[in-house]
Amino acid sequence: MFDAEAASFVCEFIEYLTCSNGAPFRLMDWQRDAVTEFYGQMIEAEGDEADPTGQYIRRYQYLYLEIAKKNGKSELAAALGVYHLFADGEIR
Protein backbone atom coordinates (compact mmCIF):
# COMPACT_ATOMS: atom_id res chain seq x y z
CA MET A 1 0.00 0.00 0.00
CA PHE A 2 1.23 3.50 -0.75
CA ASP A 3 0.40 6.32 1.69
CA ALA A 4 0.87 9.58 -0.21
CA GLU A 5 -0.10 11.64 2.84
CA ALA A 6 2.69 10.15 4.98
CA ALA A 7 5.23 10.70 2.19
CA SER A 8 4.19 14.30 1.58
CA PHE A 9 4.30 15.03 5.34
CA VAL A 10 8.00 14.09 5.45
CA CYS A 11 8.78 16.18 2.36
CA GLU A 12 6.92 19.20 3.75
CA PHE A 13 8.65 18.84 7.13
CA ILE A 14 12.06 18.80 5.46
CA GLU A 15 11.25 21.88 3.40
CA TYR A 16 10.45 23.84 6.58
CA LEU A 17 14.09 23.41 7.63
CA THR A 18 17.04 25.54 6.56
CA CYS A 19 20.36 24.42 5.09
CA SER A 20 23.67 24.95 6.85
CA ASN A 21 24.21 28.16 4.85
CA GLY A 22 20.86 29.60 6.07
CA ALA A 23 18.96 29.10 2.82
CA PRO A 24 15.64 27.25 2.86
CA PHE A 25 15.98 23.51 2.24
CA ARG A 26 14.47 22.65 -1.14
CA LEU A 27 14.40 19.00 -2.06
CA MET A 28 15.93 18.10 -5.41
CA ASP A 29 13.90 15.79 -7.63
CA TRP A 30 15.98 12.71 -6.76
CA GLN A 31 15.72 13.52 -3.04
CA ARG A 32 11.94 13.95 -3.24
CA ASP A 33 11.62 10.66 -5.17
CA ALA A 34 13.74 8.75 -2.64
CA VAL A 35 11.95 10.19 0.40
CA THR A 36 8.50 9.69 -1.14
CA GLU A 37 9.20 6.08 -2.08
CA PHE A 38 10.78 5.25 1.28
CA TYR A 39 8.21 6.87 3.57
CA GLY A 40 5.16 6.17 1.41
CA GLN A 41 5.45 2.38 1.14
CA MET A 42 3.45 0.75 3.96
CA ILE A 43 2.63 -2.79 5.07
CA GLU A 44 0.06 -3.99 7.56
CA ALA A 45 1.46 -4.43 11.05
CA GLU A 46 1.45 -8.01 12.24
CA GLY A 47 -0.73 -8.91 15.16
CA ASP A 48 -1.97 -12.24 16.42
CA GLU A 49 -5.14 -13.59 14.79
CA ALA A 50 -7.29 -12.94 17.86
CA ASP A 51 -6.22 -9.27 18.02
CA PRO A 52 -5.25 -7.89 14.58
CA THR A 53 -3.80 -4.42 14.81
CA GLY A 54 -5.19 -2.98 11.56
CA GLN A 55 -2.34 -0.48 11.56
CA TYR A 56 0.20 0.13 8.86
CA ILE A 57 3.93 0.58 9.33
CA ARG A 58 6.73 1.59 6.97
CA ARG A 59 7.76 -1.21 4.65
CA TYR A 60 11.47 -0.37 4.74
CA GLN A 61 13.75 0.22 7.71
CA TYR A 62 16.89 1.35 5.87
CA LEU A 63 17.43 3.78 3.02
CA TYR A 64 20.68 3.26 1.12
CA LEU A 65 21.71 6.09 -1.19
CA GLU A 66 24.83 6.02 -3.32
CA ILE A 67 25.21 9.36 -5.07
CA ALA A 68 28.30 11.27 -6.22
CA LYS A 69 29.90 13.95 -4.05
CA LYS A 70 28.29 17.40 -3.63
CA ASN A 71 24.74 16.25 -4.42
CA GLY A 72 23.05 16.89 -1.08
CA LYS A 73 23.37 13.56 0.73
CA SER A 74 24.61 15.02 4.01
CA GLU A 75 21.97 17.76 4.16
CA LEU A 76 19.26 15.19 3.42
CA ALA A 77 20.60 12.83 6.10
CA ALA A 78 20.64 15.68 8.62
CA ALA A 79 17.08 16.67 7.70
CA LEU A 80 15.87 13.08 8.08
CA GLY A 81 17.63 12.87 11.44
CA VAL A 82 15.73 15.96 12.63
CA TYR A 83 12.49 14.47 11.28
CA HIS A 84 13.01 11.23 13.20
CA LEU A 85 13.95 13.12 16.36
CA PHE A 86 10.92 15.41 16.43
CA ALA A 87 8.13 14.44 14.03
CA ASP A 88 8.20 10.69 13.39
CA GLY A 89 5.90 9.69 16.22
CA GLU A 90 7.79 6.45 16.89
CA ILE A 91 8.55 5.41 20.45
CA ARG A 92 12.04 4.14 19.58
Tell me whether residue 58 is in a domain.
Answer: yes
**DSSP assignments along 5-66, one per residue:** HHHHHHHHHHHTSB-TTSSBP---HHHHHHHHHHHHBEEEPP--TTS----EEES-S-----
State the residue range of the domain holding 42. Answer: 4-86
**pLDDT tops 60 at residue 51:** no
Q: What is the predicted pLDDT for the residue at 57?
A: 86
The domain total for the chain is 1
Indicate the DSSP class of residue 69: T
18 found inside a domain: yes
**Residue that wins the pLDDT comparison between 56 and 34:** 34
Confirm whether 12 is domain-assigned. yes
In a domain, 92, yes or no: no
Tell me whether residue 91 is in a domain.
no
For residues 58 and 69, give the distance between their C-alpha atoms in angstroms, rounded to a whole number. Answer: 28
Global pTM value: 0.83
pLDDT at residue number 50: 52
